[in-house]
Amino acid sequence: MRFGVLWALFVASGKMFIRNRAAVFFSIFLPLIIMLIFGVLNFEGSVDIDLGIVDESGSSQGTALTSELEGVDYLVIHQGELDAELGALETGDRDFVIVIPAGWSVPPPGTDSGLTAYAGSGDPAQLQVMEGLVQQAVAQALYAPGGGGATAFVPPLTFESVESRDLGYIDFLVPGIVGMTIMQLGLFGVAFGFVQLKRTGALRRLFATPTPPTYFLSAQVGSRLIIGFVQVAILIGVGLWFGLQMFGDWLTLGIIVLVGSVIFLAIGFAIAGWAKNEDQAAPVANLISLPMMFLSGVFFPRDAMPEFLRAITQFMPLTYVNDALRGVVNDGDNLLALGPQLLGMSVWAVITFVVAVLLFKWE
């Protein structure tokens, strides 16, 4: 292998990418601009409270209390076992967990209810507000139906603090923006650049040189991967500046970025092989990227989608990438814990590689 030739092609490939303004804007500047905008806006104002309920009472009154709380607009109720709900509280997936003890029944108004609520260790001011809302909801659920709300009020809940991860919107946003950047670099960085080279006849003239085409392709892929890792490092750095919490290890994050980049680079090569000019490449790239940008959980959780839409979008390649990135960054998952996501990404890598081989043409 002639490393001097490969290095020259690698440098030339990087320069070609930088000179392609459209590719640079969509794959580098657009994600960074979005990150800065959402980071400054800081969407932390949701009034929804994730409330876990562990009903150990085995009574109709415990069931009735849960049913009443489910009717409160600002409460998102999750029912489960104690260990599972406390685990969700520790990872930041619950704000509070209420335990209804065995043998519990509704106490007389103005007396201790016997209910315990476990609270996460988030922002004290925000927790105080949410505690008041939960107290109000439980008191309403206990006594308003029976008309006992006029008696002296005793807070129905005893709160206990549990050490937990205080994940904010920026912790959700950064992995999504990183996934979007990986997608944009692959789609627009490759598709626009190669289509331009095809249109000008540069790729055809490459065959007249003694340089093997594999050198040129290797240089293109290598330069895009390095640019991608640099861009991811910049985005993570901006995220840390805004308060991002990194719970996983950097090696696992790098592997996820690498596999995700392979998927979207292959899609970019497929588009470049099919399209004859930039006018054909741009609509196809946007047709692929825009649905994933808004349906794969880049900006907002997929849990807010209708169930049928979640069932469809969970198989999108960017969904697997985003879920894996959030598993590393937010939950500290290792490669073994990310098995389902890695399997989905691997399947997409094989599919997109085969499609790229079938569609890619030098002219």
Q: Are residues 56 and 180 in the same domain?
A: no
Domain boundary among 112, 129, 161: 161
Measured distance CA(70)–CA(98) in Å, rounded: 13
Of 32-46, 235-249, 287-301, the least confident? 32-46
Q: Are residues 214 and 278 in the same domain?
A: yes
| Structural domain for 70, as ranges | 49-161
Residues β-bridged to residue 97: 52, 118
- The winner for highest mean pLDDT among 143-152, 172-181, 204-213 is 172-181
- The winner for highest mean pLDDT among 62-76, 119-133, 154-168 is 62-76
Instruction: Kindly tell me if the per-residue pLDDT of 138 is higher than 60.
Output: yes
Measured distance CA(105)–CA(60) in Å, rounded: 9
* pLDDT tens-digit series, residues 298-340: 888 887 778 888 888 889 999 999 999 999 998 888 999 899 9
Q: Are residues 127 and 236 in the same domain?
A: no
CA-nearest of 168, 185, 170 to 34 is 170
* pLDDT tens-digit series, residues 62-99: 888 888 888 888 888 898 888 888 888 877 778 888 88
Give the count of domains, the chain. 2
Query: Which uninterrupted H or E stretch holds 99?
Result: strand 96-100
Q: Are residues 115 and 184 in the same domain?
A: no
Answer whether 159's CB lies under 8 Å from 128's CB. Answer: no
Q: Are residues 232 and 200 in the same domain?
A: yes
Domain boundary among 102, 129, 161: 161
Task: Check: pTM over 0.75? Answer yes or no.
Answer: no
Measured distance CA(27)–CA(29) in Å, rounded: 6
User: What value, to the nearest 5°, has the Cα angle with vertex 341 and ends 233 and 30?
Assistant: 35
Average of pLDDT values for 149-153?
Answer: 46
Q: Are residues 176 and 292 in the same domain?
A: yes
Q: Are residues 109 and 181 in the same domain?
A: no
Instruction: Kindly tell me if the per-residue pLDDT of 160 is higher than 60.
Output: yes
Q: Are residues 189 and 56 in the same domain?
A: no
Indicate the DSSP class of residue 55.
E
pLDDT of 255: 93
Residues β-bridged to residue 117: 98, 159
Q: What is the mean pLDDT of the chain?
A: 78
What are the φ and ψ backbone dihedral angles of 157, each rounded to 5 degrees?
A: -115, 140
Domain boundary among 138, 161, 184: 161
What angle, rounded to 10 degrees, do the helices at 169-184 and 250-274 form? Answer: 40
Name the more confident of 342 and 38.
342
Answer whether 213's CB lies under 8 Å from 139's CB. Answer: no
> Any idea what the CATH number is for the domain that residue 81 is in?
3.40.1710.10
Answer whether 332's CB lies under 8 Å from 175's CB. Answer: no
Q: Are residues 60 and 35 in the same domain?
A: no
Q: Are residues 236 and 294 in the same domain?
A: yes
Q: Are residues 35 and 54 in the same domain?
A: no
Q: Are residues 206 and 322 in the same domain?
A: yes
